[in-house]
């Protein structure tokens, strides 16, 4: 029998519940296409349905879940074709952002990048994919901020929110975390040195490598289903 999760604190209750539901999705308890049952979640979280409803609205805003009229709320499901198209567009926007970031980096930013890279190395060595993914998002966010382009920032986030569940699964393998962070270091070093073309190239290559990791993961999952 499933044990209820610890009751979240009253302050920021919907946000706390949203974080808990997100972890259940990332952990695989709720899979892409699964329906979220408000009543069952309320019992599990030890709260009323109101905070659950608000938490689901928060998750819908991130793109992790999708409300369907007269049917309920479902964990977002994206076709492979859509995902590959999104990766291609992300590569273009991220490459642009990395190239633009060269013009705005400071020593404080360099220290922030280096701290993130070291922390991702540690998370990779510990096999902590959840922490790695959070730090990975922060690394990408720093580059987008440094691009000084609100439109690029917004476009990138529109693409990313559709892929959180799938990107998160890419890092369940320690080898993927290590390879990803090697790619991060190349991007940072190019930005730090003022190498515009290399920053753009390494950023685009990083997203394309993530695309390949996604395809490899999908292939492994398909083979496992056939066994």
Q: Output the pLDDT for position 10.
A: 40
CA distance 113 to 109: 6
Dihedral sign from CA coordinates of 195, 197, 198, 200: positive
Q: What is the pLDDT of residue 227?
A: 59
Q: What is the DSSP string of 57-99?
A: HHHHHHTSEEEETTTEEEE----HHHHHHHHHHHHHHHHHHHH
> Stretch 142-164: mean pLDDT, rounded?
90
* pLDDT band at residue 78 using 50, 70 and 90 as cut-offs: confident
Q: Do domains 13-75 and 80-226 have the same CATH topology?
A: no
Angle at 225 between CA 31 and CA 124, to 5 degrees: 60
Structure confidence at residue 1 as a pLDDT band (50, 70, 90)? very low
**How much helix, strand and coil, in percent to the nearest 5, is found in the chain?**
75, 5, 20
**Sequence spans of domains, the chain:** 13-75, 80-226
When mean pLDDT is compared over 21-30, 50-59, 97-106, 214-223, the highest value belongs to 97-106
The pTM (predicted TM-score) of the whole model is 0.75
Share of the chain above pLDDT 70, in %: 90
Give which of 82, 114, 90, 119 is closest to 203, Cα–Cα. Answer: 90
Looking at the structure, give the CATH architecture of the domain made up of residues 13-75: Orthogonal Bundle (1.10)
Average pLDDT over the chain reads 88
Assess whether pLDDT exceeds 70 at residue 145: yes
Distances (CA, A) of 2 to 29, 41, 45, 74: 11, 12, 12, 21
Structure tokens belonging to residue 37: 């049952």
pLDDT tens-place string over residues 101-116? 999 999 999 999 999 9
User: For position 76, what pLDDT does the model report?
Assistant: 84
Residue 79: pLDDT band by 50, 70, 90 thresholds?
confident
Q: Which residues contact 165 (CB under 8 A, 6 or more apart)?
A: 25, 26, 32, 64, 75, 76
Q: 81 or 2, which is more confident?
A: 81
For 35, the 3-state DSSP assignment is strand
> How far is the C-alpha of 183 from the C-alpha of 202, rounded, in Å?
7
Q: In the structure, what pLDDT confidence band is assigned to residue 222 with cuts at 50, 70 and 90?
A: low
- Fold type of domain 80-226: 1.20.120
Percent pLDDT > 90 in the chain is 62
Q: Is the pLDDT of residue 225 over 70?
A: no
């Amino acid at each position: 029998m499933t044990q209820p999760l610890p009751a979240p604190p009253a302050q920021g209750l919907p946000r706390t519940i949203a974080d808990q539901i997100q972890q259940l999705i990332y952990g695989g308890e709720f899979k892409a296409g699964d329906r979220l049952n408000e009543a069952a979640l309320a019992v599990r979280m030890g709260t009323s349905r109101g905070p659950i409803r608000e938490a689901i609205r928060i998750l819908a805003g991130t793109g992790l879940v999708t409300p369907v009229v007269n049917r309920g709320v479902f964990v977002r499901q994206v076709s492979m074709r859509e995902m590959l198209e999104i990766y291609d567009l992300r590569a273009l926007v991220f490459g642009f952002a990395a190239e633009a970031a060269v013009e705005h980096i400071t020593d404080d930013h360099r220290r922030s990048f280096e701290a993130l890279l070291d922390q991702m190395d540690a998370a990779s060595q510990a096999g902590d994919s959840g922490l790695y993914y959070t730090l990975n998002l922060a690394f990408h966010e720093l580059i987008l901020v440094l691009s000084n382009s609100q439109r690029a920032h917004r476009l990138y986030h529109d693409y990313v929110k559709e892929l959180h569940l799938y990107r998160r699964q890419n890092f369940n393998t320690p080898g993927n975390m290590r390879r990803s962070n090697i790619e991060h270091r190349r991007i940072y070093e190019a930005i730090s040195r003022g190498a515009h073309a290399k920053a753009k190239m390494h950023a685009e290559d990083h997203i394309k490598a993530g695309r390949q990791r996604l395809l490899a993961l999908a292939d492994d999952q398909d083979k496992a289903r056939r066994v």
